[in-house]
Homo-oligomer: A and B are copies of this chain.
Amino acid sequence: MEKQQAIDEQLRKYFPDLPSGPLDNYRKKASFDWRRMKLVYDSLNTIKLKHDVWSFMEGHPLFKHTEATRELDDERHITTKRMYTIYNEQFLRFEKIAEDPKAFQAESEALFMFDSSLAVKVSLTFRMFSNAIQGNGKGHHYHLIEDVEKAKIGGCFALTEVSHGSNAKGMRTTATYVPEKRQFVMHSADFEAAKCWVGSLGKCATHAIVYAMLISKGKNHGLHTFVVPIRDPKTLKPYPGVIVGDLGEKIGLNGVDNGFVMFNNYHLPKEAALDKLGGVNDAGDYETPFRDPNKRFGAALGILSGGRVHITSISTCYLQKAIVIAIRYSAVRKQFGPENAAEETPVLEYQQQQIRLLPYLAATYAMKIFSVWLSFTHINMAISNFMGDDKNAAARGIELHALSSAVKPLFGWTSRDGIQNCRESCGGHGYLKAAAIGDLRNDNDANCTYEGENSLLLQQSSNWLLNVWARRNTLTPDDSPLNSLQFLDNVDQLLKEKCSWKTVEDAVDPTNLIKTYKWLTAYMLKMTSEKVAALKSQGKDNFAAKNESQTFNAVTLSIVYGENYVLNHFYKSAVEYNDVNCRVVLLKLVSLYGAFLLEKHLATLYIGGYLSGQQGALVREGLVRACAAVTPDAVALADTLAPPDFCLKSVLGMADGEAYKHIQSSVMTYPGSMTRPEWWRDVVYWQSYAPSKL
């Protein structure tokens, strides 16, 4: 009791009362404490960390937004300055991560909530570079980690080439060992072999982690990593032999200077090879601690799994911002109403508005809780790998790989669709740049592509699941330390069951939803496995059989597997949450999220014979009702999720709910908005450049 009081006091300190205004009505209706709800995914520690970062930004002139979009070069400039400024503050020292592994995700979230380009730049320049050296390098490389930690040099990560991205094995950058000189000669045969898309390489990076084919004594030993000097850290001029440039404008993330680089017989000392996992000795003979070369390749690419984990959390941040904007605006936007009503109705009250927003509000909670946990789990794994104290590290690693390969696409796509719904739900004003939803969409778009194109990544999970299916009768808990295979318990029995729902209530009961998901996941796995087998029995090789069992099979399987895990995790977190009012609302969100997910798979449930008759209609009715049930709490749920106004920077979504006032102030102060254009003569005297034929 006293403890709760102390916590509440802390929360109040970080989150003072929200400004009174048009949102008061909804806030009064809330059935729970919006501050306490934060602790379902945050801790006082992570809250404090984010608060520190945001307070610093709020007081610093570099972190003020401009009305008009900057030109590309200016955008890069300010993002770079912000990067050094924020990095220099060291909000999260390495030691602190070990103390509270959740701090890592929290700091990243604080940056993403402010500006995604900034967050990406920090992560590429400092973190990814250090991690790559830590993971693939030896003692004599560690001075580079010190340099980058001191920001004397800046890193980047160069895997993708112009003509090869997903198919890393097809890459064509070569590093040929010359034993006489103890050097590697790095070379790009043509522009198609240029490294490209490399974030922070366009303008800034001094060093790159480069993946190249290691060639020695005429033999190609496959892809290896090298740390390659690109620009002189004192002048930022590229070294001779390095042709480096910027990719120009992108759909989003324009503060990040994505670049390309070609190497023209560029000589590197032998020490450039990050050869902990394999490389040549001075004589040019190949040596590796791995017996199976595939294992080395896997381990070398292993560094990428952290990226996927990170992206589940990035996607969540984008959706989180969009949903806050759309919910708050829908609560103050009034349009139409019953005949003779004194006031128009907030559009949030309309069924068709609810169905487009509230499932994504529920999804945001599910995703937030899950992504915080995933990041925490990933870091804990890294720590225990480092300590060597996890006996089951390999199985855990593989399962995490499969799970993150499913959830990264799932979250990228959920955010994509959710943000789009938010955009449209805000009507005309949602199309304002100043509403901020368009930029969220543009930035999130990249999440569907980098760190593994979504559709391809799903193949990683399904491959593992198919493998698991074959040995489903001999699985032990050790095969699934994260418990993502729980749906295989008693699977043969399970698949014989049929759905027993009779009422709308049945259809949205969390435990029923979870049971159905279990069935669905198992069914999809069985179907996919049978499909692959059928294709093979028609004489197709593995490559063809795998390709031709993607649509409606393997792809759906991986998505369902991810959804199943996230739904279960959400339910568990809700049931266990200590605050009773919050718990009641969380369980409503679980129902809503579950019914929303399931509705998309109704056809499969019928095809599989699990559902029959009108049961699908019960889910739909249940979903609509679950939306209505959450509506009175929607604004408070958005308040819980909302970052500070200066991060949200949306005229529609501010905490005070004064959308029209913010629109007015924004349009009236937009540079030049009220003045006659300088080129007014080209309107009045258009015949001066187009002699009239009219």
- Chain A residues packing against B (C-beta within 8 Å): 62, 67-69, 71-73, 76-77, 80-81, 84-85, 88-90, 149-151, 154, 160, 162-167, 170, 191-192, 196-197, 202-204, 233-237, 244-252, 260, 334-339, 344, 350-356, 416, 420, 423-424, 427-428, 430-434, 437-438, 442, 445-446, 448-450, 453-455, 541, 543-544, 547-548, 550-552, 555, 599, 602-603, 606-607, 611, 614, 616-617, 620, 624, 660, 663-664, 666-668, 670, 672-674, 676-680, 682-684, 686, 689-694
The reply to whether A666 and B248 form a contact with Cβ atoms under 8 Å apart is yes
The reply to whether A192 and B660 form a contact with Cβ atoms under 8 Å apart is yes
The reply to whether A191 and B664 form a contact with Cβ atoms under 8 Å apart is yes
The reply to whether B352 and A550 form a contact with Cβ atoms under 8 Å apart is yes
Q: Nearest residue in B to A542 (C-beta to C-beta)?
A: B339
What would 28 A/B residue contacts be, using CB atoms closer than 8 Å?
A: A68-B248, A77-B677, A80-B683, A88-B692, A151-B694, A164-B335, A170-B336, A192-B660, A197-B428, A203-B676, A203-B677, A234-B684, A235-B680, A235-B684, A244-B674, A246-B667, A246-B672, A250-B433, A252-B438, A339-B541, A339-B543, A350-B547, A352-B550, A352-B551, A356-B455, A424-B449, A424-B453, A606-B611
The reply to whether B624 and A552 form a contact with Cβ atoms under 8 Å apart is yes
**Chain B residues within 8 Å of A203, by CB:** 676-677, 683
Query: How many Å lie between the Cα of A330 and that of B663 in the bound state?
Result: 42
Q: A527 → chain B, closest Cβ, in Å?
A: 9
Query: How many Å lie between the Cα of A552 and that of B71 in the bound state?
Result: 45
Query: How many Å lie between the Cα of A382 and that of B177 in the bound state?
Result: 77
The reply to whether B442 and A424 form a contact with Cβ atoms under 8 Å apart is no
The reply to whether B543 and A338 form a contact with Cβ atoms under 8 Å apart is yes
**Chain B residues within 8 Å of A455, by CB:** 352-353, 356, 424
**Chain B residues within 8 Å of A354, by CB:** 551
* A-B interface, 9 closest residue pairs, ranked by CB to CB distance from nearest: A248-B670, A251-B438, A602-B603, A249-B433, A84-B686, A606-B606, A236-B680, A352-B550, A603-B603
Q: Nearest residue in B to A627 (C-beta to C-beta)?
A: B551
7 further contact pairs, Cβ within 8 A, besides A90-B694, A355-B550 = A88-B694, A203-B677, A245-B673, A245-B674, A250-B431, A352-B551, A607-B616
Q: A300 → chain B, closest Cβ, in Å?
A: 19
* Most B CB within 10 A of own CB, among A455, A603, A614, A693: A603
The reply to whether A690 and B445 form a contact with Cβ atoms under 8 Å apart is no
Query: How many Å lie between the Cα of A691 and that of B432 in the bound state?
Result: 38
**Chain B residues within 8 Å of A246, by CB:** 667, 670, 672-674
The reply to whether B67 and A248 form a contact with Cβ atoms under 8 Å apart is yes
**Chain B residues within 8 Å of A80, by CB:** 679, 682-683
Query: How many Å lie between the Cα of A273 and that of B603 in the bound state?
Result: 56
Q: A15 → chain B, closest Cβ, in Å?
A: 28
The reply to whether B166 and A336 form a contact with Cβ atoms under 8 Å apart is yes
Q: A192 → chain B, closest Cβ, in Å?
A: 5
The reply to whether B344 and A434 form a contact with Cβ atoms under 8 Å apart is no
The reply to whether B430 and A676 form a contact with Cβ atoms under 8 Å apart is no
The reply to whether A693 and B352 form a contact with Cβ atoms under 8 Å apart is no
Q: Nearest residue in B to A552 (C-beta to C-beta)?
A: B620
**Chain B residues within 8 Å of A437, by CB:** 251
The reply to whether A430 and B442 form a contact with Cβ atoms under 8 Å apart is no
Q: A660 → chain B, closest Cβ, in Å?
A: 5
Q: Nearest residue in B to A354 (C-beta to C-beta)?
A: B551
**Chain B residues within 8 Å of A432, by CB:** 247-251
**Number of copies of this protein chain within its complex:** 2
**Chain B residues within 8 Å of A442, by CB:** 438
Q: A20 → chain B, closest Cβ, in Å?
A: 19
**Chain B residues within 8 Å of A690, by CB:** 81, 84-85, 88
Q: Nearest residue in B to A694 (C-beta to C-beta)?
A: B150
Q: Nearest residue in B to A424 (C-beta to C-beta)?
A: B448
**Chain B residues within 8 Å of A250, by CB:** 431-433, 438
The reply to whether B90 and A667 form a contact with Cβ atoms under 8 Å apart is no
Q: Nearest residue in B to A628 (C-beta to C-beta)?
A: B548
Q: A423 → chain B, closest Cβ, in Å?
A: 7
The reply to whether A614 and B624 form a contact with Cβ atoms under 8 Å apart is no
**Chain B residues within 8 Å of A673, by CB:** 202, 245-248
**Chain B residues within 8 Å of A541, by CB:** 338-339
**Chain B residues within 8 Å of A167, by CB:** 335-336, 344
**Chain B residues within 8 Å of A678, by CB:** 73
Asked whether A236 and B449 contact (CB < 8 A) given A68-B248, A338-B543, the answer is: no
The reply to whether B603 and A683 form a contact with Cβ atoms under 8 Å apart is no
The reply to whether A431 and B446 form a contact with Cβ atoms under 8 Å apart is yes
Query: How many Å lie between the Cα of A71 and that of B70 in the bound state?
Result: 9
**Chain B residues within 8 Å of A339, by CB:** 541, 543
